[in-house]
Structure 1
Amino acid sequence: MKLIFEFLRYCLGNKVDMSGVVAGMNWQRLYEFASKQAMLGVCFDGIERLGKEYPEELKRNPIDRNLLMTWMGAAQQIRRQNMKVNGVASKLYSMLRKDGLRCCILKGQGNALMYPNPYSRNPGDVDVWIDASRERIMEYAQKKFELEDDIRLQHIETSLDGVPVELHFFPCSMNNLFYHARLQKWFKRNADLQCSNVVSLPDDAGEIAVPTAAFNVVYQLTHLYHHFFDEGIGMRQIVDYYFVVISDELLVISDELLVIRDTLQRELKHLGLWKFAGAVMYVLHEVLGLSEEKMICPMDEKRGKLLLAEILNGGNFGKHFTKYGHFTQQGMAKKYFLKIWRNMHFVRYYPAEALSEPVFRTWHFFWRIKNKK
Structure 2
Amino acid sequence: MKTFIPNKQEQMLFALLSASLHEKEVATLPFENCSQEDWRNCFQLACKHGVMALAWDALINLPKNLQPDKAIKLTWAAHVERYEQTYLRYCRCIDSLTRFYAQHHIQTMVMKGLAVSTLYPNPSHREGGDIDIFTYSANTDIMSHEEANALADKLMQEQGIEVDIEYYKHSHFFYQGVPIENHNTFLNV
Instruction: Verify same fold: TM over 0.5.
Output: yes
- SS of the equivalent of 2:32 reads helix
Amino acid at match of 1:110: A
Q: Which residue of 1 aligns with 2:6?
A: none
Structure 2 CA distance for partners of 1:170 and 1:149, relative to 1, 3 Å: closer
Structure 1: how far apart are the matches of 2:153 and 2:163? 11
How many angstroms does 1:136 deviate by?
A: 4.3
Does 1:48 find its partner at 2:60?
yes
**How far apart are the structure 1 equivalents of 2:11 and 2:187?**
33
Residue correspondence of structure 1 range 85-234 to structure 2 within 5 A = 85-131=90-136, 132-133=145-146, 135-145=147-157, 146-171=161-186, 173=188, 183=189
TM-score when scaled to structure 2? 0.78
Greater strand content: 2
Counterparts of 2:23 and 2:107 in 1: how far apart (Å)? Answer: 37
Q: Distance in 1 between matches of 2:104 and 2:27?
A: 52
Give the deviation of 1:9 after TM superposition: 0.1
- Unaligned residue ranges in structure 2 (runs of 5+): 1-9, 137-144
TM (normalized to structure 1)?
A: 0.41
Question: 1: CA distance between counterparts of 2:25 and 2:59?
Answer: 14
CA contact (8 A) 1:6 1:16 kept: no
Q: Distance in 1 between matches of 2:155 and 2:22?
A: 45
Matches within 5 A, 1:1-373: 1-16=10-25, 18-25=27-34, 26-50=38-62, 54-55=63-64, 59=65, 61-131=66-136, 132-133=145-146, 135-145=147-157, 146-171=161-186, 173=188, 183=189
**2:135–2:148 contact (8 Å) kept in structure 1:** no
Q: Is the 8 A contact 1:141 1:147 kept in 2?
A: no
What's 2:7 paired with? none
Q: Distance in 2 between matches of 1:9 and 1:92?
A: 35
**Paired residue total:** 166
Letter matched to residue 119 of structure 1: S
3-state SS, counterpart of residue 12 of structure 1:
helix
SS of 2:174 mapped into structure 1: strand
Pick closer, same or farther for the CA change 1:5–1:167 going to 2, 3 Å. same
SS class of match (1:170)? coil
What are the superposed Cα offsets for residues 16-68 of structure 1, whole Å, 9 maximum, x if unpaired?
55221221542122101101001111111111222xxx23xxx2x44132222
Letter in 1 for 2:43: Y
- Structure 1: gaps spanning 5 or more residues: 174-182, 184-373
The change in CA–CA distance for 1:16 and 1:63 in structure 2 (over 3 A counts) is same
* Paired amino acid for 2:81: Q
CA contact (8 A) 2:134 2:183 kept: yes
Task: Check conservation: 1:157, 1:164, Cα contact below 8 A.
Answer: yes
Listed one character per residue, the Cα deviations across residues 296-337 of structure 1 (whole Å, up to 9, x for unaligned) are: xxxxxxxxxxxxxxxxxxxxxxxxxxxxxxxxxxxxxxxxxx
Greater percentage in helix:
1
